Amino acid sequence: MDSAFHLVDGELGAEAVPLSAIAQAVGTPVYVYSASRLRSNFSAWRQAFPQAHIAYAVKANGNLSVLRTLFAAGAGADTVSEGEIRRALAAGCAPEHIIFSGMGKTDDELRFALSLPGIQINVESEPELDRLSELAARADARPLVAIRVNPDVAAGAHAKIATGQAHDKFGVPFDQTAALYRRAAADAALQPVGLAVHIGSQIADPAPFEAAWIRLRELARNLRTEGLPLTRLDLGGGLAADYGAGAPTPQLLGDLAVRLFPPGEFELSLEPGRSIVADAGVLLTRITHVNQRGDGPRFLVLDAGMNDLLRPALYDAVHPLRPVRPRPGEQALHDIVGPVCESSDRFAGDVRLPPFEPGDLAILSAAGAYGASMSSEYNARPLVPEVLVDGERWALVRPRPTFAEMLSREPLAPWL
Ligand code: LLP
């Protein structure tokens, strides 16, 4: 975990840059990303799937410099909103390498996608197909369409991020997909090209992927046997990242794909997010103080809060804390908390850590995925900035807004 972040002369650095230098220049809290780690994570996917279209899931981390690094390495983009499509385009992704997923696309978003030739629109329901057909006919566009199947497979992930069972809101029920595909094929305004599946996130076990992909393959082969055009299979994302307990490599899924999909039968695409960016990022934070309550808990109070990294509060996620310059001394149990005014602003409880003094720096590990992208200004805390490191170089790739900027975004109602 965090191998791009290692101790040099007793202090944690990001690649060749000491984290203390970044903290001094930018302040804390701040997300720090390793470009080398982004590239090596992407290249693990490339090696596992040499022929596939690897569409990085922008929602995991949509920072423009992160996107540009991955697109330069050969990634495409999986997007779920007009905003994400615009980010992908701004960072240099060609429309034909963009997949537009999502189960609640608005008419405006569909119209925007229809203006981008070559983009693949993954349709998730019958009403969406009807709206897309009407909008496409009006725009005189013939979009490439894939139908997202709900394979009714339990992914074993946290319930809030599992998406592949019949009761989930995602995808077309397995037994209705063929009929919907036939309808799309008969529609002059649409160009169906394939099927898609995505069963959830933080999945370490290959079994649910296998179950879902077998169902997808069966459906695709049946539709092809009917003579329908179907060349693409989008196998989704969801591979687990390493939060301290280890994680499989993309090769696990690559080997599975080799077993299930004979070369040349389908053009495969994937939508990995977390497994590419999670361990390429950390949240760098400063200890505000240590509050030892008599015999009670010893609170390690950080200057990072749940508004900067929501995952522990929302999913009980674990992001192990490491001191940037570990102090010698006896380890003790700590509760790690942020400054936000609710008890859910807690990163971990009862963790054994070396001593800390106010002002010490620490990192919350493996925070590159769904960290900055889910951050907010709750408690009127400035949006957390982001830094990209590449070897000895580093750059501030999203500055912290000033309080003046934050206030100026809100015009007062004219009658006040
Ligand atoms: N494709 C689709 C259609 C998705 O919905 C997602 C994630 C992905 C790809 C990428 O999945 P990944 O490879 O990153 O697992 N905020 C949550 C995760 C939500 C995932 C939503 N969909 C978290 O912080 O754990």
Contacts of 410 (CB under 8 A, 6+ apart): none
What is the CA(413)–ligand 1 centre distance, in A?
38
Domain residue spans in the chain? 5-33+278-408, 102-270
Q: Is the pLDDT of residue 26 over 60?
A: yes
* pLDDT recorded at residue 23: 98
Strand, helix or coil for residue 14: strand
Whether the per-residue pLDDT at 1 is higher than 70: the answer is no
Q: Could you tell me which residues are beta bridge partners of residue 270?
A: 54
Helix (H) or strand (E) holding 36: helix 35-48
Percent of the chain scored above 90 by pLDDT? Answer: 93
Whether 338 shows a pLDDT value over 80: the answer reads yes
Rg of the chain (C-alpha set):
23
- The reply to whether ligand 1 has any atom less than 6 angstroms from the CB of 311 is yes
Torsion of CA 82, 88, 94, 96, to 10 degrees: -50
Residue pair 14/20 in contact (Cβ under 8 Å)? The answer is no
Q: Which of 287, 277, 376 is nearest to 325 (CA)?
A: 287
| Average pLDDT of the residues of the chain | 96
Q: Average pLDDT in the 126-149 region? A: 97
Find residue 194's DSSP bridge partners: 146, 232
Q: Which fold has domain 102-270?
A: TIM Barrel (3.20.20)
Pocket flag, ligand 1, residue 101 (CB < 6 Å): yes
Three-state DSSP at 192 gives strand
Distance 333 CA to ligand 1 centre (A): 33
Tokens 């119209």, residue located: 111
CA–CA distance from 115 to each of 27, 118, 125, 143, 412 (Å)?
41, 10, 21, 9, 36
Structure-token pair, residue 347: 């990163």
CATH of 5-33+278-408, one of 3.20.20.70, 2.40.37.10, 1.10.10.410, 1.10.150.20: 2.40.37.10
Distance 236 CA to ligand 1 centre (A): 9
Among 38, 271, 347, which residue has the most ligand 1 atoms within 8 Å of its CB, making it the best to mutate?
A: 271
pLDDT for res 143: 98
CA 152 to ligand 1 centroid distance, Å:
17
- The per-residue pLDDT for 159 is 78
Report which ligand 1 atom has the smallest distance to the Cα of 158: 25
- The answer, yes or no, to whether any atom of ligand 1 lies below 6 A from the CB of 161, is yes
Range 127-155 average pLDDT: 96
Residue nearest atom 7 of ligand 1, based on CA coordinates: 201
Question: How does pLDDT run across 61-70, given as a tens digit for each residue?
Answer: 999 999 999 9
Confidence of residue 103 (pLDDT cuts 50, 70, 90): very high
Q: So what's the pLDDT on residue 191? A: 98
**Burial classification of residue 138, based on how many CB atoms lie within 10 Å of its CB (0-12 exposed, 13-18 middle, 19 or more buried):** exposed
pLDDT tens-digit map of 190-230: 999 999 999 999 999 999 999 999 999 999 999 999 999 99
Residue identified by tokens 């290959």 is 206
* pLDDT at position 155: 83
- CB of 385 within 6 A of ligand 1: the answer is no
237 C-alpha vs ligand 1 centroid, how far in Å?
7
Whether the CB-CB separation of 270 and 239 falls below 8 Å is answered with no
For residue 412, pLDDT beyond 70: yes
CA of 257 from ligand 1 middle (Å) equals 20
Tell me if 15 CB under 6 Å of ligand 1: no
Residue 29 preceded by cis peptide, ω within 30? yes
299 within ligand 1 shell (Cβ under 6 A): no
Atom of ligand 1 nearest to the CA of 102: 3
Q: How far apart are CA 403 and CA 416, in angstroms?
A: 21
pLDDT in tens, 268-306: 999 999 999 999 999 999 999 999 988 888 999 999 999
Known catalytic residues are 341
CB of 44 within 6 A of ligand 1: the answer is no
Weakest mean pLDDT among 29-38, 147-156, 355-364: 147-156
Q: Is the CB of 143 under 6 A from ligand 1?
A: no
Q: How far is the CA of 201 from the centre of ligand 1 (A)?
A: 5
Say if ligand 1 is within 6 A of residue 200 CB: no
Q: Span 322-335, mean pLDDT? A: 96
Residue minimizing CA distance to atom 6 of ligand 1 = 237
Q: Which of 49, 158, 201 to mutate to test the pocket of ligand 1 (most atoms within 8 A of CB)?
A: 201
Is the C-beta atom of 164 inside 6 A of ligand 1? Answer: no
What digits encode the pLDDT tens for the residues 380-391?
Answer: 999 999 999 999
pLDDT tens-digit profile of 148-201? 999 999 887 677 777 778 888 889 999 999 999 999 999 999 999 999 999 999
List Cβ neighbours of 271 (8 Å cut-off, separation of 6 or more): 55, 56, 57, 78, 99, 101, 198, 234, 235, 236, 237
Q: Which atom of ligand 1 is nearest to the CA of 370?
A: 24
Write out pLDDT tens, residues 84-102: 999 999 999 999 999 999 9
Between the CA of 134 and the centroid of ligand 1 the distance, in Å, is 29
**Maximum Cα–Cα distance across the chain:** 75
d(CA 194, CA 173): 16
Residue 316 structure tokens: 């009980």
Q: Which atom of ligand 1 is nearest to the CA of 237?
A: 13
